[in-house]
């Protein structure tokens, strides 16, 4: 696959996923504007994750049945409209409905592009291509916080969502021109049968079950941190602006750089070694993160470890599940990311409730407990791998 096309997949995936995460550094502003208390404002992120779950169940599987270029184009225009609707929200219910739409369409675009990249790549480069596209996703996730913080300080939180809509329309033309045409599966099943087949895949494929559970726990830990970070940093004694809070996301860019390498290791059969190291980094990250009240440098070190571990595990997970059934990439990524959406939603709503009662140390204890559970689960299931791969790797 040409490098320019790999880069386009990465950029488009990053812009798409960023829409789902713009709200995290804006939670305090949304709470003030719509009269939502801190214990409940995590529900804004949970509404977005509910949209993610619906997309993974109802929209992402469509890429196994219909022309993917046309599907991407329709979803992109609808996503831009949803972003504009959020920017114009006048009530909490309107805001939550708009966030649901952004989660629905942003996730459908992101995961559709990942499945598109996997299907367009040759088998021997699949891990590398998926890793590069997933690196774009991770950079989009991290830079979303920087972008949202900077734009909100200049034009308010509404300006963030309006600018995001313009960015999606700008990437639409190069996507339409460059995305390769892929053959639609012959004898495609009906839409109801397509959706029903996802349950059979989930029940049959142990690799999907294990990697999905790891994703749920890992993304719960990830969102426990990022959803809570804005609350202490925006309050005394820090009183940081949204731009400054969002800039902490740049520390995690090191994690995105590991994406392609983790994909190559999975291509070479070292998926389990990468998984173990990634989960260990995720658990160790909570040590320096818990020291934030005494040292912001410790916070930066913890962010690097957290994002490095999360990114490497996520790329490895996707590289392994795409080896199960090539003709079912859309359904496989939809099911896998459904675990991710559940974990993210639970992490977001859980961390704001814990923070309101136990403060930052309570958040770190919760994150460490979830990370430890993920590491123990991986150890117990480390022999579950796609056919042809050795557990020793």
Give 51-82 pLDDT, tens digit per residue.
Answer: 888 888 888 888 777 888 888 889 999 999 99
> What mean pLDDT value characterizes the chain?
83
User: What whole-number percentage of the chain has pLDDT above 70?
Assistant: 91
Band of residue 185 on the pLDDT scale cut at 50, 70, 90: low
When comparing pLDDT for 227 and 106, which is higher?
106
Predicted pLDDT at 387: 59
- For the chain, the distance separating the N- and C-terminal CA atoms, rounded to the nearest angstrom, is 27
Residue 225 has pLDDT above 80, yes or no: yes
Residue 376 has pLDDT above 90, yes or no: yes
What value does the mean pLDDT take over residues 19-23?
A: 87
DSSP code at position 213:
H
Q: Is the CB of residue 334 less than 8 Å from the CB of residue 104? A: no
When comparing pLDDT for 140 and 187, which is higher?
140
Predicted pLDDT at 379: 93
Where is 278: in which H helix or E strand?
A: helix 271-284
Which residues are CB-neighbours of 114 under 8 A, at least 6 positions away? 13, 130, 133, 134, 137, 318, 333
Which of these, 372, 376, 370, lies nearest to 354 by C-alpha position? 370
What value does the mean pLDDT take over residues 23-36?
A: 79
Give 341-361 pLDDT, tens digit per residue.
Answer: 788 778 877 887 888 888 889
Planar angle of CA 254, 255, 259, nearest 5 degrees: 115
Q: Is the CB of residue 243 less than 8 Å from the CB of residue 143? A: no
> Minimum mean pLDDT among 212-226, 256-270, 289-303: which range?
256-270
Q: Which two tokens stand for residue 8?
A: 């386009």
The three-state secondary structure class of 338 is helix
When comparing pLDDT for 172 and 353, which is higher?
172
The three-state secondary structure class of 294 is coil
Q: Which two tokens stand for residue 83?
A: 């972003």
Which residues are CB-neighbours of 266 under 8 A, at least 6 positions away? 127, 131, 274, 315, 316, 319, 320
What value does the mean pLDDT take over residues 295-311?
A: 88
Residue 317 has pLDDT above 80, yes or no: yes
Give the other-Cβ count within 10 Å of 296's Cβ.
14
Predicted pLDDT at 83: 94
Band of residue 12 on the pLDDT scale cut at 50, 70, 90: very high
Give 96-132 pLDDT, tens digit per residue.
Answer: 889 899 999 998 999 889 888 877 887 777 777 887 8
Q: How far apart are CA 314 and CA 111, in angstroms?
A: 13
Instruction: Give buried/exposed letters for 327-352 (b at 16+ CB in 10 A, else e).
Output: ebbbbbbbbbbbbbbbbbbbbbbbbb
- CATH superfamily, with its number, for domain 3-179+189-380: MFS general substrate transporter like domains (1.20.1250.20)
Question: What is the rounded radius of gyration, in angstroms, for the C-alpha atoms of the chain?
Answer: 20
Residue 388 has pLDDT above 60, yes or no: no
Q: Is the CB of residue 86 less than 8 Å from the CB of residue 161? A: yes
Query: What's the gap between Cα 81 and its chain centre?
Result: 21
According to the per-residue pLDDT averaged within each range, which of 33-37, 48-52, 69-73, 80-84 is highest? Answer: 80-84
Band of residue 238 on the pLDDT scale cut at 50, 70, 90: confident
Q: Which two tokens stand for residue 96?
A: 């939550």
Residue showing tokens 């009269």: 35
Query: What's the gap between Cα 357 and its chain centre?
Result: 27
Q: Is the CB of residue 3 less than 8 Å from the CB of residue 178? A: no
Planar angle of CA 197, 56, 246, nearest 5 degrees: 160
Give the other-Cβ count within 10 Å of 77's Cβ.
12
């Amino acid at each position: 696959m040409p490098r320019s096309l790999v880069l386009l997949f990465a950029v488009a995936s990053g812009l798409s996923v960023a829409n789902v995460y713009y709200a995290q550094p804006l939670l305090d502003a949304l709470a003030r504007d719509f009269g939502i208390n801190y214990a409940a404002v995590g529900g804004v992120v949970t509404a977005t994750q509910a949209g993610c779950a619906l997309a993974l169940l109802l929209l992402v599987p469509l890429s196994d049945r219909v022309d993917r270029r046309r599907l991407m184009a329709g979803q992109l225009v609808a996503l831009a409209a949803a972003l504009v609707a959020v920017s114009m929200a006048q009530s909490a219910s309107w805001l939550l409905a708009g966030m649901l739409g952004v989660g629905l369409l942003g996730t459908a675009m992101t995961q559709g592009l990942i499945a598109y990249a996997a299907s367009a790549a040759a088998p021997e480069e699949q891990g590398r291509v998926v890793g590069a596209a997933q690196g774009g996703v991770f950079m989009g996730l991290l830079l979303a916080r920087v972008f949202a913080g900077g734009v909100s300080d200049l034009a308010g939180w509404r300006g963030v969502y309006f600018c995001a809509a313009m960015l999606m329309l700008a990437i639409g033309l190069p996507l339409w021109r460059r995305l390769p045409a892929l053959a639609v599966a012959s004898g495609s099943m009906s839409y109801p049968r397509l959706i029903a087949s996802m349950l059979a895949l989930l029940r049959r494929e142990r690799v999907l079950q294990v990697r999905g559970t790891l994703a749920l726990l890992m993304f719960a830990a990830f969102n426990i941190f990022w959803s809570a970070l804005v609350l202490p940093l925006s309050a005394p004694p820090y009183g940081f602006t949204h731009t400054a809070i969002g800039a902490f996301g740049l520390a995690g860019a090191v994690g995105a750089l590991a994406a392609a390498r983790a994909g190559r290791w999975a291509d070479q059969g070292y998926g389990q070694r990468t998984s173990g190291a990634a989960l260990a980094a995720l658990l160790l990250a909570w040590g320096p993160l818990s020291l934030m009240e005494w040292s912001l440098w410790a916070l930066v070190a913890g962010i690097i470890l957290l994002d490095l571990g999360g990114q490497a595990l996520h790329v490895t997970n996707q590289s392994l599940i795409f080896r199960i059934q090539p003709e079912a990439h859309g359904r496989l990524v939809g099911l896998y990311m459904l675990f991710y959406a559940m974990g993210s939603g639970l992490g977001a709503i859980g961390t704001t409730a814990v923070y309101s009662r136990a403060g930052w140390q309570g958040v770190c204890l919760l994150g460490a407990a979830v990370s430890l559970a993920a590491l123990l689960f991986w150890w117990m299931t480390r022999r579950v791998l796609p056919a042809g791969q050795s557990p020793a790797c």
